[in-house]
A and B are shown apart, each in its own frame.
Chain A
Amino acid sequence: MAAAEIDRLIRLLARLPGLGPRSAQRAALAMLRRPEVLMTPLAQALLECASRIGRCRVCGNLDSRDPCTICSDEGRDAALVCVVEEVEDLWAMERASSFRGRYHVLGGTLSALEEVGPDELGIGRLLARVAEDAVREVILGLGATVEGQTTAHYLAERLRPLGVTVTRLGQGVPIGGELNYLDEGTLDAALRARRPVG
């Protein structure tokens, strides 16, 4: 029978995505066995993030600055905005290091069943930003899921009247991929997104 404090710790850990009761228990015990190495630094980091990290009021990114580091970077093209679902997608784009514009993080995708509509995603804020900041091009970097594609279509329709160029990330043959190994859905997407050579 664990002490009430440990029980609470396990319960709280188990609420995190990807952790169930068993893995939460494992994590809690690992920390309790090596508190100086694993627990205290984690507790400090948690407190620090809780007090200092917030949503960027411009793009929805998570950062200790508001506007965030990317939105404040004068070297980045403010007229080029890439719309992504989540912060991890922004990080993925940044890892690729080939995009020098700015972002807009929706924080999800349209889902009627989960009661996530245009208001919950702050789509109005994106439209206002496009209109006010003289945005030249909006790149839709959304997933190829039903919800991702529905959201992309929705955004394209809402952005069209603003006269901005709307593009989306290419879908199809991955780098290093062989056609023979692609599934029909990917090939279909690649065919639809074909482009002239040269």
Chain B
Amino acid sequence: MTARLVPEPATPVAGEAAGAVSRLELAAFRNYRRLELAVTARPVVLFGPNGAGKTNLLEALSLLTPGRGLRRARLAELDHRGGGRFRLRARVETVDGPREVESWHDPENGRRVLAVDGAACRSSAELARLCAMVWLTPAMDRILVEGPAGRRRFLDRLTLALYPDHAARVTAFERAMRERAHLLRSRRPDPVWLDALERRMAQAAVAIAAARRDLVAGLEAELARGVEGFPSARLALAGEVEEALGRMSALEVEQWLAGRLAESRTADAEGGGAAHGTHRSDLLVFLRAGEVPAAACSTGQQKALLLAVLLAETRLRRARAGDWPVLLLDEVAAHLDAERRRALFEALVAMGAQCWLTGTDAELFRPLFGRAAVFHLNEATLREHG
């Protein structure tokens, strides 16, 4: 099931295309035994029946950034069912030239290993700096109407594309919060130990909130410029730490939050978790015209709002980091009407960011034919279309 499709690009991808994945190799990944794929920075369309492996391919790409990928899967789920541990290798065109990113399931310690240019990647930030990925999948269809957890994840993924340290800070905050919750449940929790953990939480939370605030301000500026054919979204952050940073210095917020956490120990011991912190914040999304909350919009409008945010994010990363994020849009085209679909395709082509689109029907992507690499995917085998 090896597919070698497009020859290597004859000329190196220019700086204009920085951020794109130009080559991808999968081994023992989900339903792929082997796959080799070389593409340019143009949009990539993957169409084929359900279960062909379209989302799996996007998931493999999403694993070129820190975290658990677009399905948030456990490692064992990523291995091929027929046996073997997965291995991914990709060439990413960065602002500093091509870099090789690898990731595999290490059987010795049961962890996902990351390497850049053959050397172990020391931190998630190093990888996040190299390339950014943002995605929209059917599993995210309801994030604008459901609880804040999905929106927070979306927000943090967007923040990571601008702040490579963000994932590590979120992990540090959660780790300290879990430690504190565990300690609070013990018989006689040591107050000095609790102090120390609350200081760690407060320090991480301030960094997290500051990055989120900066991201949302940047996105707001981009969204105000608008994308033709898309409803204009307005974003706001709801969270006490984010709000506190609007009126106090970072150091003051750190002390204030540590104090609030100390006050809430009794309640937190009973309720579990923590009453204060960035883990309770929310991303509010509105339709700019009329300030309509996204939850009150139609499903199609919600999807369009999320896409408008992703497009704004794409321009923002380009402006700040000099490269484009890779957009992974799983089954997105099917939920847009023809006019909006065309608007999306035009925006993608005009921007120059690499975008991977999936769908069951090739016809949906007709406006992209000639301007995108189009592949038919069936049973983990790729065939160039047309």
User: Residues of A with Cβ closer than 8 Å to B?
Assistant: 19-20, 22-23, 110-113, 117-118, 146-147, 149-151, 153-154, 157-158, 183-185, 188
**Assembly CA distance A153 to B179 (angstroms):** 15
Contact B193 A184 (CB under 8 A): no
**Assembly CA distance A158 to B107 (angstroms):** 42
17 contacting pairs across A/B (C-beta < 8 A): A19-B108, A20-B109, A23-B108, A113-B182, A117-B190, A146-B175, A146-B176, A147-B179, A150-B196, A153-B195, A154-B192, A157-B196, A183-B126, A184-B125, A184-B163, A184-B164, A188-B207
Contact B196 A112 (CB under 8 A): no
Chain B residues lying within 8 Å of A185, measured Cβ to Cβ, are: 125, 165, 168-169
Report the number of A-B residue pairs with Cβ-Cβ less than 8 Å. 67
Chain A residues lying within 8 Å of B200, measured Cβ to Cβ, are: 146, 149-150, 153
Interface centre among B129, B168, B197 (most CB of A within 10 A): B197
**Assembly CA distance A112 to B193 (angstroms):** 9
Q: How far is the CB of B379 from chain A (nearest CB, A)?
A: 32
**Assembly CA distance A110 to B193 (angstroms):** 8
Chain B residues lying within 8 Å of A117, measured Cβ to Cβ, are: 190, 193
Q: How far is the CB of B211 from chain A (nearest CB, A)?
A: 9
A156 and chain B: residue at smallest CB distance: B196
Within 8 A of A (CB), among B161-188: 163-165, 168-169, 172, 175-176, 178-180, 182-183, 186
The yes or no answer to B199 lying at the interface (CB within 8 A) is: yes
Chain A residues lying within 8 Å of B169, measured Cβ to Cβ, are: 185
* With contact pairs A110-B193, A183-B123, A185-B165 given, residues A153 and B199 touching in the complex (Cβ less than 8 Å): yes
B195 and chain A: residue at smallest CB distance: A157
**B138-182 vs A: 1/0 string, CB under 8 Å?**
000000000000000000000000011100110010011011101
**Assembly CA distance A196 to B44 (angstroms):** 55
**Assembly CA distance A147 to B197 (angstroms):** 9
B interface, over-half SS: helix
Chain B residues lying within 8 Å of A157, measured Cβ to Cβ, are: 192, 195-196
**Assembly CA distance A143 to B118 (angstroms):** 26
Contact of A112 among B129, B182, B207 (CB under 8 A): B182
**Nearest 4 pairs of A and B residues by beta carbon:** A20-B108, A153-B196, A112-B182, A112-B183
A19 and chain B: residue at smallest CB distance: B108
**B104-119 vs A: 1/0 string, CB under 8 Å?**
0001110000000000
Contact A118 B193 (CB under 8 A): yes
B108 and chain A: residue at smallest CB distance: A20
Chain B residues lying within 8 Å of A111, measured Cβ to Cβ, are: 179
**Assembly CA distance A158 to B190 (angstroms):** 11
A118 and chain B: residue at smallest CB distance: B190
Chain B residues lying within 8 Å of A110, measured Cβ to Cβ, are: 193, 196
Chain B residues lying within 8 Å of A22, measured Cβ to Cβ, are: 107-108
Chain A residues lying within 8 Å of B190, measured Cβ to Cβ, are: 117-118
Contact B179 A150 (CB under 8 A): yes
**Assembly CA distance A158 to B108 (angstroms):** 40
B174 and chain A: residue at smallest CB distance: A146
**Assembly CA distance A110 to B197 (angstroms):** 10
Chain B residues lying within 8 Å of A20, measured Cβ to Cβ, are: 107-109
B166 and chain A: residue at smallest CB distance: A184
B171 and chain A: residue at smallest CB distance: A146
A145 and chain B: residue at smallest CB distance: B172
**Assembly CA distance A147 to B178 (angstroms):** 12
Chain A residues lying within 8 Å of B182, measured Cβ to Cβ, are: 112-113
B109 and chain A: residue at smallest CB distance: A20
**Assembly CA distance A113 to B177 (angstroms):** 11
Q: How far is the CB of A127 from chain B (nearest CB, A)?
A: 12
Q: How far is the CB of A138 from chain B (nearest CB, A)?
A: 16
